[in-house]
Amino acid sequence: MRVCTTNKIFMSKRMDALRAKVDPNKVYGLDEAIKLVKETSGVKFDASVELHAALGIDIKKSDQLVRATIVMPHGTGKTKTIAAFVAPDKEKEAKEAGADFVYGEEDIKKIKDTGKIDFEVAVTTPDMMPKMAGIAKVLGPKGLMPNHKTETVSPNLKKMIGELKRGKITFKNDDGGNIHQLFGKVSFTENQLKENLTALLDALKKAKPPSAKGTYLKTLIICATMGPAIKLSAN
């Protein structure tokens, strides 16, 4: 017990020292913020680096919802398992494109009956969409139902799956009008994190609803897992 207590005290002091590097009242420029987020990761594993953005949108208005899809220049550092739901004549193409699982009509029936899934992203072709409707109640609540908005429905399996493997992401605002998005790992170089974050911010700015009034990017914060919040300039 004494060892555990000592470890906790040591970790607490270490985290306090890391937090002390960040001025909670300062808004940092991109370069300095990226440098700090790498320096203030206090965990032993390869921590994720995330952007948290408070948006000036009215979530009660359907025309002010924010959603966008981009391919991160350097990926996110996290590879998701992809399931391709295709007709028999497309199975070979899906496998060669890099799908982790290739499913057909029998698999759709099994998922409908059991409600069990073993993948993180689902893609399909337009001709399979009527059949996919049978598992919409299973995939929908998990945000996994393929649709054109998230670009997970396409006849071009090679392009669709290839982009997902390279770090394609879809982000959207939550119920509070905020965006929470992973954009890399602490092990990434400063330049890789900077380019990923720049691409993410550009996509976020382009996704601004025309009807949104006032300041759009109200607050931007980046941080590593369990690391201190670093305020980022929106300019």
- In Å, how far from its chain's centre is CA 166? 13
Q: Distance between CA atoms of 52 and 54, rounded to whole angstroms?
A: 7
What are 84's two structure tokens? 């391709």
pLDDT digits (tens, 9 = 90+) for 86-139: 999 999 999 999 999 999 999 999 999 999 999 999 999 999 999 999 999 999
Supply the DSSP string of 62-105, one letter for each residue.
Answer: GGG--EEEEE-TT--S-PPPEEEE--GGGHHHHHHHT-SEEE-H
State the Cα–Cα distance between residues 137 and 149, nearest whole angstrom.
18
Neighbours of 39 (CB within 10 A): 14
CATH (one of 3.40.50.150, 3.40.50.720, 1.10.730.10, 3.40.50.790) for 82-165: 3.40.50.790
Q: Quick: pLDDT tens for 33-92.
A: 999 999 988 778 899 999 999 999 999 998 999 999 899 999 988 888 999 999 999 999
Task: Report whether CATH 3.30.190.20 matches the domain 22-77+168-231.
Answer: yes
Q: CA 56 to CA 212: how far, in whole Å?
A: 7
Tokens at 80, concatenated: 């998701």
Q: Where are the domains of the chain?
A: 22-77+168-231, 82-165
